[in-house]
Structure 1
Amino acid sequence: MSFDVIIYCHGTQKTGLGHFSRCFNLALALQKLSASLAFYGQFDVFARSRLEQSGFACLSQLPLCSHPIIVCDDYHFTHVELKELHDAGAKLVIIDDFDQYNFEFIKRIVNFRYQAASLCQVSERHLLDLNYFPFHEDLKAVRAHALKIESAAREISSILLFIGAHDRHKIAARLLCALDNLVNGKRVILVASEQCAFDCKNNRLTQLNFVDDMAGLYCKVDMVISGGGLTKYEAGFCLLPNAAFSQTKQQQLDTEILAEAGLCYDLGLSTATEQTELENRLSLFLSDEFRHQFEKQKSTFSIDSTRHLAQKILEVSDE
């Protein structure tokens, strides 16, 4: 069977679900445009379940004879692997956060990070910035709800800590400790692949592993603190005040750019920030800084970015 688009990514507890999540969001938009598509890669039970529920095939090998568009999203592709796919007839689109795959045979290079042009050697093949951010359709309802709330009067009663699959430097425990020292009577929801052995004395802690319905979770919280990845973009789209405690230098650079634009609050790079400094920064964010993000978020994110990206990808079929 041939497909218009094949999405090549991974979604397991080991790889994390960030790449899978944004590819899945893109797939839903491509499906709405009547494109036939399938997924190829390594997927755990959670990811396979989502694919099956949405009617997406999961391939055991790549059918290249029909010269499909292949959307690739992973940090570990090699030039040799991608060139082999190209030489076999595939039309390659790659989601590339760091411009590491800027090869002449790639048809489109997608980098939806804010001010991505400043981080790339820009060409006509690039699709850059938040105009191409692939969010889930359900987040529109979260955003619409936030628009009804007066930003200046927002009360913080529930805080989401989203760490995801990789807690490289035990930041969940550090953030929980800082929050428990700074606020009282809040509901704190921690999403991380491993349970955190922490006794909240001043707040109510709920711990979750992977979450199937992120939109539903965002609806239940008033603030988001992340480990520096995709979540800060989703929170910004949803008009939720958010801060990031970055786990890698690349995430930290991205967070600094967002923070300078008023779209995220920078809690620092986890490996270079002492606990006292973390608490000082978090205290400033909780006291008043979070109220300053709303208007900038509202004017910066586009509610048509996922559809826009899907349309641009399908244009490749005619090249």
Structure 2
Amino acid sequence: MKKARRILFRCDGGQTAGLGHLSRCISLARSLHIEAPEAQVMFWGRYDTLASQLLRQYDLRTLPLPVPPMDTSGIARTREVCRNFDVLVLDSYETHQSYIDGLKHLACRLALIDDDQRHDLSGADMVICFRAGSEKLDYGARHQLLGPSYLPVKPELHALRSHNLTLEETRPIEQVLVFLSGSSMGAKHLQSVLQALDSTRIEVSYLAQGELPFMSSYRAKYIPFTPAIESVYAQSDFVISGGGLTKYECAYACITNACLSLTDLQDQDTREMAAQGLTLDLGPADTSDIARIRRQIHEFISDPKALSAQRKAFASKLDPEGPRRVAQALSAL
């Protein structure tokens, strides 16, 4: 009988780190349970109340041990913990090169989910980078899963994708969702986006950690965070995100979308996605202009040809079986 693989996800989730790293690791862990039901999966990180709720929602266990820094001082402790696992999946912006180098010769395999190509990952057993345009990269790792085709998404989004592909490509936009970030970073820009949408006749909702006081002056409906994000997406024809994981989830689920990027890295990523027709680029949030955002959004959602072109890009450029292939590759590592 094949020995069950023991896989440890090292990622954080909360107000500071946001929920993107945790969400994609949860999606990958759930795909692993489908493809390799015998696999033993655990999470190790710093999680706030919402992040812990997400993990409990899917019966994913956490390792009840202190989390060391991801620098030189945390190498020894991490190596000790990893003796009990076959694969360590590392997904964080807080990793230092010294930490990665110190984990290259673990007893277990080292897999990294990467966004920004800041580090030398040539010593890793596997690198996963689903960013648009990453197909052209070479990390030098033993296994490389590169490009949007390897996007880890919730299994529920596969069903939503299948449903949306049956709908008319030029269907009108009636329900707009604004979800800038799972962290506090997007809150200061939320008002500008809702102001840009306030003069339109479409119905607008916003997803945030809590209902914000200034929102009472807008027609937008508040939606609290929910583990079942697919139920919110299912009610949305158009999503405005802060440029992180959300725009990829929407593209996979065939939901027209636009991005107001909150960071320089997200801005670079959004421009690449827009070049492939997978999103509408609203530019960097820090240089945003309400009148320009209003004009861009109105012109896009009023143009059946533009809507159809983005929906066709979703269908042709994203692999519906990508999440399954990532899980299979990880379980075989």
TM-score by length of 1: 0.90
Aligned position for 2:68 = none
Q: What percent identity do the matched residue pairs reach?
A: 29
Structure 2: how far apart are the matches of 1:255 and 1:272? 15
Aligned position for 1:268 = 283
Structure 2: how far apart are the matches of 1:123 and 1:257? 23
| Corresponding residue to 1:286 among 274, 297, 301 | 301
5+ residue gaps, structure 1, are: none
| Corresponding residue to 2:52 among 45, 48, 52 | 48
| Corresponding residue to 2:256 among 221, 241, 244 | 241
C-alpha deviation, 1:51, in angstroms:
2.3
Tell me if the contact between 2:243 and 2:267 (Cα under 8 Å) persists in the aligned partners: yes
Structure 2: how far apart are the matches of 1:269 and 1:52? 35
Amino acid at match of 1:307: R
C-alpha deviation, 1:192, in angstroms:
2.0
1:224-239 alignment, distance < 5 Å: 224-239=239-254
Cα deviations by residue, 1:200-247 (Å, 9 ceiling, x for unpaired):
55xx42113422111111111111111111111111111111111111
| Corresponding residue to 1:76 among 94, 98, 103 | 94
C-alpha deviation, 1:67, in angstroms:
4.8
Cα deviations by residue, 1:70-113 (Å, 9 ceiling, x for unpaired):
00110001123233344452321000011223333211111011
Aligned position for 2:317 = 300
1:2-21 alignment, distance < 5 Å: 4-21=6-23
Amino acid at match of 1:246: S
Structure 1: how far apart are the matches of 2:116 and 2:195? 32
Residues 1:137 and 2:155 aligned together: yes
Structure 2: how far apart are the matches of 1:67 and 1:3? 8
Aligned position for 1:163 = 180
Q: What is the root-mean-square deviation of aligned Cα atoms in Å?
A: 2.1
Query: What SS class does the counterpart of residue 123 from structure 2 fall into?
Result: coil
Structure 2: how far apart are the matches of 1:206 and 1:224? 14
Tell me if the contact between 2:122 and 2:140 (Cα under 8 Å) persists in the aligned partners: no
5+ residue gaps, structure 2, are: 66-77
Cα deviations by residue, 1:142-166 (Å, 9 ceiling, x for unpaired):
11221221111x1222100011223
Report how many residues are paired.
310
TM-aligned CA distance change 1:296 to 1:103, over 3 Å: closer
Aligned position for 1:31 = 33
TM-score by length of 2: 0.86
Structure 2: how far apart are the matches of 1:274 and 1:315? 48
Cα deviations by residue, 1:255-283 (Å, 9 ceiling, x for unpaired):
11111111111111112232222222222
